[in-house]
Chain A
Amino acid sequence: MSHPSAMRIFLKTIVARAYPRFVAAYRNRAWLITETLLPLVGTIAMIYVYRALHAPARFLGFVVLGGVLLAFWQNVIWAMATQFFWDRGAGNLELFAMAPTSLAAILLGMALGGAYVSLTRAATILLVASVLFGVSYSLSGLLPALGVFVLTISALYCLGMLLASLFLFYQREAWQLADAMQEPIYFLSGFYFPVRSLGAVVGGVGSLIPLTLGLDAIRQLILPGTPQFIPLSVEVLAVVAQIIAYAALSQISLRYLERQARQDARLILRST
């Protein structure tokens, strides 16, 4: 009997891990509601803040686009970074470790499935918020903006893979840590205001998160009048560099932390 090649196993693992997420995108209605409404409610609250301040219309667009990417960030935090933590609690992580495949393939499958799930939620947020509040966009920048969006999401999920391996080392505090990566990141990434307003230092630190530069680039392309943080071409190059850097770092980190986790018996350590 011939054995499947390593590449075939790798690819089949990606598909197998992504599959439950594709299916769950519509089957789990409880999650469908929270994953869509949570970012939407936050977006609506911020839109009303700008309305109360009589802000120009393009600021509503800033918030809506921030809300769209917020759905991805929440997915990365709760369904990528903390996923191995949940898997360990449910007893799946030890099965993953025993299976004749790599954790990297499992993470890639998670990322693929997670990106699809978030895309469905983000599209709803974009549509509902734009129609409700009459937000319009420049169509001429739409195609390049879509390109930047794909790059940004790729970099974001590479960061998610890196965080997932780091979270292998957390116990009960994983939940709180993920919780703490919400408003501080919304602030640092300029989800609700132009990134330029943060200044060079804070904006520079925030740029370590791919959403910051990606969001600013998308805004520059489809919301004319967006104050420029750094030139668009530099932002795109930086996001591409982040894809490479975070992908490489996640693989190094995963290998190291998996070995450590095996030594410390953390792959089977229940935290509750």
Chain B
Amino acid sequence: MSTAIRQWRGFKAATRLGWQISSNWTQPLVFVLYSVLRPLSAAFILVVMYRVISGGGANTAAYLAFLVSGVAFWSFVQYGFAGLSNGIAEDRGEYKMLKYVYTSPAHFYVYLLGRGLAQLASAVASALIVLIVATIALGLPINPLHINYPLLLAASSLALLAVIGLAMAFGVLLLQARDAHGYGELGSGVLYVISGAIFPISVLPGILATIASLSPLVYWMESIRRSLLGSQAIRMFPSLSDGDVLLRLLVTTAATLILAHLVFSWADRTARQKGLIDMETNW
């Protein structure tokens, strides 16, 4: 059997496994409700906050669209980053199967990519439902016929690569800890603050704003808003063209992937040396 086929089979098995773990605890309808409940509530929180300040006056749709689009697409980071990095700890501590993944023919990267993509499937449904509900309920200026789909797809593909890369590195780094409960959520919480998902990064203090501008997530959020809202989008980088934003996203994604690979390699080597792959973690 060729290497490519072996890896493909490993990838398929990992994707199926990830999907089953995240979804087969209940009926499909309950799972869909569960998937949208948190992001929808997060969107409602921001809408109420904005309405309290703006007084619900006219011309609020553009800023509401800024908030809602950020929250809707944040599901990809929530599921992709926190879900995958927690998944690595669960595979070791709860299911006690990480050592078997290491000894299987599929490359560990391939396995994690499959696990990560399964998480993102839930995020797609969640983002779509939040956008549809919010657009109808709040009258947001999002028209499916006017969405710049090539920009949306290109930007999201790049950003998701970065998210999965970061999650892989963070997840393997967490193998150093005996108890990593909540660290996936903490990591995604920190990314939330510096991603421009719910406020422009110009509000952040100098050093944080600089760090944020090096993150691919900021350019992804900007691209999402431009693709969904066109000229009505509130822009974090008004002086940059769509192409410039995409170029910055490409560069920061490449840099993130290189950094993630380095961290992953170091953490993986250390985990093997210290015998952490099959460590009992008193789950």
Mark A residues whose CB is within 8 Å of B: 28, 30-31, 33-35, 37-38, 41-42, 44-46, 48-55, 59, 89-90, 171-173, 176, 179-180, 182-184, 186-187, 191-194, 197-198, 272
Task: Please give me the residue from chain B that is nearest to A56 by CB atom.
Answer: B53
The reply to whether the CB of B165 lies closer than 8 angstroms to some CB of chain A is no
Given the interface pairs A45-B193, A51-B203, A184-B38, the reply to whether A272 lies near B178 with Cβ below 8 Å is: no
Select one of A30, A48, A176, A179 contacting B199, CB under 8 A.
A48
The residue on A at minimum CB distance from B177 is A30
List the 3 shortest-distance A-B pairs measured between CB atoms, nearest first: A34-B182, A183-B41, A52-B199
A197 CA to B198 CA, complexed, in Å: 20
A184 to B40, CA, bound (A): 8
Q: Is the CB of B177 within 8 A of A41?
A: no
Contact across chains for A44 and B49 when beta carbons are under 8 A apart? no
A182 to B46, CA, bound (A): 15
A183 touches B45 (CB 8 A): yes
A52 touching B203, Cβ below 8 Å:
yes
**In the complex the two chains form, what is the Cα distance from A42 to B190 in whole Å?**
9
In angstroms, how far is the closest chain A Cβ from the Cβ of B220?
17
Q: Decide: B189 and A42 in contact? CB cutoff 8 A.
A: yes
Please measure, in the bound complex, the distance between the C-alpha atom of A21 and the C-alpha atom of B155, giving whole angstroms: 46
Q: For B51, what are the chain A residues with a Cβ–Cβ distance below 8 Å?
A: 197
Further contacts, 8 of them, CB under 8 A, given A49-B46, A176-B26: A30-B178, A31-B181, A33-B186, A35-B182, A45-B193, A45-B199, A49-B198, A180-B37
Question: What residues on A are CB-neighbors of B199 within 8 Å?
Answer: 45, 48-49, 51-52
B183 engages A34 (CB within 8 Å):
yes
Q: Is B237 an interface residue (CB 8 A)?
A: no
Question: Known: A41-B189, A53-B53. Contact between A197 and B48, CB under 8 A?
Answer: yes
Interface check B185, CB cutoff 8 A: yes
Inter-chain CA distance A49–B54, complex, in Å, is 13
Partner of A183, one of B26, B42, B182: B42
Alpha-carbon distance between A249 and B118 when the two chains are bound, in angstroms: 41
- Given A30-B177, A182-B38, A183-B38, check contact A193 B198 (CB 8 Å): no
Given contacts A31-B179, A197-B52, whether A52 and B38 have CB atoms under 8 Å apart is: no
- Some 12 contacts from A to B, beta carbons below 8 A apart, are A34-B185, A38-B182, A38-B189, A41-B192, A45-B189, A49-B198, A179-B38, A183-B37, A187-B45, A191-B45, A193-B45, A197-B52
Q: Which residues of B contact A180 (CB under 8 A)?
A: 34, 37-38
Cα–Cα, bound, A54→B178 (Å): 43
Alpha-carbon distance between A184 and B43 when the two chains are bound, in angstroms: 10
Which chain A residue shows the least CB distance to B197?
A: A45
Q: Is the CB of A173 within 8 A of B25?
A: yes
Q: Mark B147-186, 1 if CB is under 8 A from A, else 0.
A: 0000000000000000000000000000001111111011
B186 near A38 with CB under 8 A, answer yes
The secondary structure that dominates the A interface is helix
Whether B95 lies near A272 (C-beta < 8 A) is yes
In the complex, chain B residues whose CB is within 8 Å of the CB of A197:
48, 51-52
Whether B204 is near chain A, meaning CB under 8 Å from some CB there, is yes
B282 partner residues in chain A, CB cutoff 8 A: 90
Chain B residues whose CB sits within 8 angstroms of the CB of A272 once the complex forms: 94-95
Question: Closest chain A residue to B49 by CB distance?
Answer: A193
Select the residue from A31, A41, A50 with max chain B CB neighbours within 10 A: A41
Q: Is the pair B41, A186 in contact by a Cβ cutoff of 8 Å?
A: yes
Say whether B193 contacts A34, CB under 8 Å.
no
CB-CB contacts below 8 Å: B14-68 with A? 25-26, 34, 37-39, 41-42, 44-46, 48-54, 67
B192: nearest chain-A partner, CB-CB: A45
CB atoms of B53 and A176 under 8 A apart: no
Q: Which residue of B has the minimal Cβ distance to A30?
A: B179
Tell me the bound Cα distance from A193 to B39 in angstroms: 18
* Nearest-neighbor residue (CB-CB) of B41 within chain A: A183
**Residue contact A44 to B193, C-beta cutoff 8 Å:** yes
| Alpha-carbon gap, A196 to B203, bound state (A) | 27
Q: How far is the CA of A51 from the CA of B53 in the complex (A)?
A: 11
Residues from chain B with Cβ under 8 Å of A183 in the complex: 37-39, 41-42, 45
Report Cα–Cα, A31/B282, bound state, in Å. Answer: 14
The answer on a CB contact under 8 Å between A46 and B181 is no
From the candidates B182, B183, B186, B203, name the one contacting A48 in the complex (CB within 8 A).
Answer: B203
Q: How far is the CB of B39 from chain A (nearest CB, A)?
A: 8
Give A182's nearest chain B residue, CB to CB. B38
Q: What is the 8 Å Cβ interface bit string for chain B, positions 94-107, against chain A (1 contact, 0 not)?
A: 11000000000000
What's the Cα separation between A30 and B183 when bound, in Å? 9
Which residues on the B side are within 8 Å of A37 (C-beta)? 186, 189
Residue ID in chain A nearest B178 by CB atoms: A30
Report the Cα distance A182→B199, complex, angstroms. Answer: 21
Cα distance A31–B182 in the bound complex, in angstroms: 8
The smallest C-beta distance from B71 to any residue of chain A, in angstroms, reads 10
Q: Which residues of A are found within 8 Å of B41, using beta-carbon distances?
A: 183-184, 186-187
Pair B44/A187 contact, Cβ less than 8 Å: yes
Alpha-carbon separation in the docked complex, A59 to B204 (Å): 17
B200 at the A interface (CB under 8 A): yes
